[in-house]
Structure 1
Amino acid sequence: MKVALHGLALKPENFPKIELLFKELVKYGFEIFVTDPFDRQLKMNGNKVLSYWLLENPEEIGEMDFLISIGGDGTLLDAVCVVGDKEIPILGLNIGRMGFLATVATDRISEAVKMLAEGNYQIESRSLLSLNCNRKLFNGLNFALNEFTIHKRDTSSMITVHTYIDGKYLNSYWADGLIVATPTGSTGYSLSCGGPLITPEAKSLVITPVSPHNLNVRPIIVSDDSEISFKIEGRTDKFMISLDSRSTSISSEVELSVKKEKFSAKLVKLPHYHFFDTLRQKLNWGYDMRN
């Protein structure tokens, strides 16, 4: 089997864990390939012992059986862009902080590789958002696993985002911005702005305002079969939009709409993992100093 490794920020103290990962992959007969960003990270850390093939052509990712994302949730979001519509299963090895998506701890490396080799896992499909616009943005990578965001620039005044669902007027949000999040993204930026938690298998999207001027405006959940379109107004003609961690500046002339992408992200789910367990652990549910 062929496995690709992807990472964006490797610290010297992470290197022993990386060496263990390579050792276990070789033990179970995996052919190891690495993305260009991860190759640079390994070389920056003085790698002289690890042997692998470099993925020189983006299309080569389609030949992989798995991609292992090494980092935090941000690295896994970037890995989704690397995989794109190839739908290669992604396993998140967490050397970051939060780990909502990168759920495999470094003390489970040997166990995780063994499970991959033996086929002892499940594949979880996560819906993506697709951005449609009348300009080419984000180098054609117009999809996101977590959220699409419209935001004011810098310290400018609030903006007004006129929002439509399947062409029907919903509301004009006078706010710092507006988020459209997938169920996966409901644990991210949307949550910090008061949005609800949504289980990954739910067929829905959530629209969450960012610091709305009218306090009676609340997040709303809509079907993921919906197409959500926007018209933006403000005192300036420039605004920020983002797909996950990728951002760009646009003018009010750009036409924007989002809907569910045709393909999905495939995340490797190991035995004894459940979304509810992650919520309790990461959000400290049930934790009380008095207990």
Structure 2
Amino acid sequence: MSTIVRNEFAGQVFGVAGRFHNVVLWADGATFANQHFTTEARPVSGYGKGATIRAELRFDDNPRNGHNTFAITGEVRDPSVIRDRGIVACGCVHDEIAKAFPELAPLIRWHLTSTDGPMHYAANAVFLAGNRDHWGKLAGEVSATETVVRFGDNPISHRLKKPFLAFLQSAAEINGQGRFDFEVIAVAYENKRGASYDFKPKYTFGGYGVDWYGCPFDSEREALEFLGALQRCNPHFDTVATAWGEGKARDLDAARRAAIWPEASDAELSVEPEALKAALAARLPALIAEFRRDMETAGFLWQAA
């Protein structure tokens, strides 16, 4: 059962008047079910005449993900609008909040920061600062390959289904007599539904035991020709590239915001991913300490005690 650990009261956050609502602790006592502050309404520009904005600051674990998270959002109301209770804008209207409540502007950087750090702290910062795509590849770097069969010096490659390709690559071990010493076998179509039509048999090699649908050859001639090529035309298996990385442009300003590291230089952010991860980990304890100081100065409880 949840517990109220602090009753609501009128108060201020960094000089902005408003109301602290009941602080409610989840039944397990680990995090807060509810802890938020709603500001007074102030005029806001860029909307209708008489429009006002309120900001809401939260520091709780409302989604039950195991840690308290800070969020600052706003709600703009236009008295001339009848629908939706006059709400014409809401959510992360941070530019409007900063203009109407400059006292709260320093807290905006902490939006979606939790007691264990900014959301996806290292992952977001490393991706945004880097020049690798979402697969982790640089522009032009091979991102996918496949194995094909070529015969002798012929540059034409033959793509085969992966199970059949694997069978051919291990043929010597499976056959036990000589490489590609196969028998061509016909596999009849099984008409299991009693249909009036029928299909011709397909063909496979001995040792590759599959049903009609999985047979690699549609005709005996095709099977015999391919077997002859395997036995006499110096087959070899090559790995070829099939896709290449696109890379991406570095977005260093976005990386600074994601890491809450405004003083980071371009050089500090442009290092290799592992080095940047190490730098981010090294500064995280001090960042969390600074975050805690701001939350407690704002009037929020860091923990139930």
With normalisation by structure 1, the TM-score equals 0.20
With normalisation by structure 2, the TM-score equals 0.20
Query: Hey, which of these two has a bigger chunk of helix by percent?
Result: 2
**Structure with bigger gyration radius:** 2
Query: Hey, which of these two has a bigger chunk of strand by percent?
Result: 1
